A = this chain, B = another copy of it.
Amino acid sequence: MEEMKEKAEKLFEGIKRHTELSPEDEEKIFSRLTRKVIKRKQFYLHEGQIAKSAAFVVSGCLRSYSIDENGFEHILQFAPANWWITDMYSFISEKESYLNINAVEDTEVLLLTRVDQLDLFDEVPTLERYFRIITENSLVNSHRRLLDNMSLTAKERYGKFCQVYPTLINTLPQKQIAQFLGITPEFLSKVRNESLRKK
């Protein structure tokens, strides 16, 4: 499958932006990857399942979210092209996930199971370094978002979201942006309306 090698190239580039990777290393990693297509609205992971693998998005966009006891959805993460996504809790503990992950649009992913990942960490130490680094970065993002949620108003958070994810603004339904920001779609509509009037 020459086609699939092209797709993995994107991942290898990402790794090489953080650490080294020999052609042999690439081969070892490549042999553990599985390609999968997830159509719009289809699920990659359902709440209660165990997240056996993590997904590297080649094209398209996935989202992870939880559903609270009142049935409201809260979006934890969007994963556009070149991002990893999984339910980290379930992935590392092998316990039942509390997140759902599905496709915002038709999406193509490369899957890596936890078992294969751990094997690879021994075979290709530089891969463990890569995951250590991107996990550090994710933690910084998550902390930043926590503090933003505590210190900024909904309007300010929306403004920041527009700056940070200018691409997503146009492709994503507003409902989902609201669920990411932690407000209702109705209130986001109000906020947007007010922002427009001022210009």
A: which residues have CB within 8 A of B? 66, 68, 72, 74, 76, 88-89, 92, 121, 125, 128-129, 131-133, 135-140, 142-147, 149-152, 182
Contact = CB atoms under 8 A, between A and B. Distances in A.
B136 A92 contact: yes
A152 B68 CA distance: 8
Given A125-B125, A132-B135, A135-B135, A92 B140 contact: yes
Contact of A150 (B92, B137, B144, B149): B149
Contact of A139 (B128, B135, B147): B135
A182 B139 contact: no
Nearest to A137: B92
B147 A146 contact: no
A142 B146 contact: yes
A145 B144 contact: no
Contacts of A128: 125, 128-129, 132
A88 B147 contact: no
A115 to B, nearest CB: 16
A145 to B, nearest CB: 6
Given A88-B136, A138-B139, A146 B149 contact: yes
Contacts of A132: 128, 131-132, 135
B151 A74 contact: yes
Nearest to A145: B146
Nearest to A129: B128
Contacts of A136: 88, 92, 135
A140 B89 contact: yes
Contacts of A144: 89
A89 B144 CA distance: 9
A145 B145 CA distance: 11
Given A89-B143, A142-B142, 8 more contacts: A88-B139, A128-B128, A128-B129, A131-B132, A139-B142, A146-B149, A149-B149, A149-B182
